[in-house]
Copies of this chain bind each other. A is one copy, B any other.
Amino acid sequence: MEISAALVIVQKYGGTSVGTVDRIRNVARRVLATQRKGHDVVVVVSAMSGETNRLLGLAQQISPIPDERELDVVASTGEQVTVGLMALAIHAEGGKATSLLGHQVRILTDSAFARARIQDIDVQAIRKAFAAQKIAVIAGFQGVDKDGNITTLGRGGSDTSAVAVAAALKADSCEIYTDVDGVYTADPNVVRNARKIDRISYEEMLELASLGAKVLQIRSVEFGMKYQVPIHVRSSFNDHEGTWVVPEEKAMEAVLVAGVTATRDEAKITLSGVPDRPGVQAEVLRPLAEAGIVVDVIVQAHIQNGRTNLTFTLPSADLARAKDILLKQCAGICPPEQLKSEENLSKVSVVGVGMRSHAGVALKMFEILAKENIHVHLISTSEIKISCVIEGKYAELAVRALHDGFGLAAGA
């Protein structure tokens, strides 16, 4: 996308990009360079790296289960410090800027402290800054509820702040600065010839984000999709074009698979001989949900005599607790000898909007894995994604084989 006329541009810089006084100065220069091209610029910043953990650590020392309203009061100071320093840095570089906190912009959220959702953003203060040729420096991660309480949006919430502000301003783009060059067809640490994706649809990015590509917070992509905000994921260390996350385009369908991704440290629990009656799945999963354990892939297969096998995956870290809960609370459904578990699993997935109109992607995936002698434990599919749960030690091999097999390699 060529930038020519005056645009409204939102730029978001994470904790690493503002982690030191020198880095804050660098960001100030970048932001000013954008403004000097004639654009109206908003900068959304996170807390300096390490700061949020320091603050939460203090709270934790006082109370192991701290009140979330007060936790948000403490945690939100990290971003407040950064916006003040960033505005000072822009002044020091000869520019004009004004810092705006969640309650000053008025980023209105619900009252779910520590995981609040944005309901509305007032753009008046931002427009006023633009009118005065000022850069609006907005604190990410924070908002305010209707009673004036300070709220925070959850880890990584600054991405969501940035995209939401861009949506409210009808900005021309929302640039998310990070320490990588964009979104890749696979993790470049695993697949050496992984290719940077130039354009990807919101739907694909959502699947990749939730499947382990850590570039963007999921909710920020949902926001972008809902309000059609073009999101540009790019590096804060150079001026290269990154990856544009945009509405689905015709050209994207020609590509069968956009990316390959893998999650690690998955575990699997199988309950065999579960009575096959309505509601039995809920009886098993409710106590786990109440304990905050997130179950991922769920597969059920019929067997004979009115009994069935129920299998699901969960994070390895939760396995011991989950087994304990099931043995105590579901003993009637499943006696101990019928509960089996497995650890060190991985879920590899291929994602692409092209799958909608192409048959045979699943078949090709199984063939590729079979050729490497990788056993598939579980399968889960959506309209634009196929996931296979495999033994963890084969994860890298599987990702490389799928990446090659689907022709994603650079220059391929």
Binding site for B on A (CB under 8 A): 21, 24-25, 55, 58-59, 61-63, 66-67, 69-74, 76-77, 80-81, 83-85, 87-89, 91-92, 98-99, 101, 103-104, 148-150
Question: What are 23 sample pairs from A and B whose C-beta atoms fall under 8 A apart?
Answer: A21-B62, A58-B81, A58-B85, A59-B84, A59-B85, A62-B85, A62-B88, A62-B89, A66-B88, A66-B91, A67-B87, A67-B88, A70-B85, A70-B88, A70-B91, A72-B84, A73-B87, A74-B80, A74-B81, A74-B84, A77-B80, A103-B103, A104-B148
Residues from chain B with Cβ under 8 Å of A67 in the complex: 87-88, 91
What's the number of copies of this chain in the assembled complex? 2
In the complex the two chains form, what is the Cα distance from A148 to B128 in whole Å? 14
Asked if A55 meets B81 with Cβ closer than 8 Å, knowing A62-B89, A66-B88, the reply is yes
A335 to chain B, nearest CB (A): 42
Residues from chain B with Cβ under 8 Å of A104 in the complex: 148-149
Cβ–Cβ contact A88 & B103, under 8 A: no
In the complex the two chains form, what is the Cα distance from A150 to B150 in whole Å? 15
Q: Which 9 A-B residue pairs are closest in the complex by CB-CB distance? A: A74-B84, A73-B84, A77-B77, A63-B92, A70-B87, A70-B84, A21-B61, A62-B88, A63-B88
In the complex the two chains form, what is the Cα distance from A101 to B83 in whole Å? 18
Closest to A22 in B: B61
Cβ–Cβ contact B148 & A62, under 8 A: no
In the complex the two chains form, what is the Cα distance from A59 to B21 in whole Å? 9
A85 to chain B, nearest CB (A): 6
Cβ–Cβ contact B80 & A63, under 8 A: no
Given contacts A59-B84, A66-B88, 8 further A-B contacts (CB under 8 A): A55-B81, A58-B81, A59-B85, A59-B88, A73-B83, A73-B101, A103-B148, A104-B148
A64 to chain B, nearest CB (A): 9
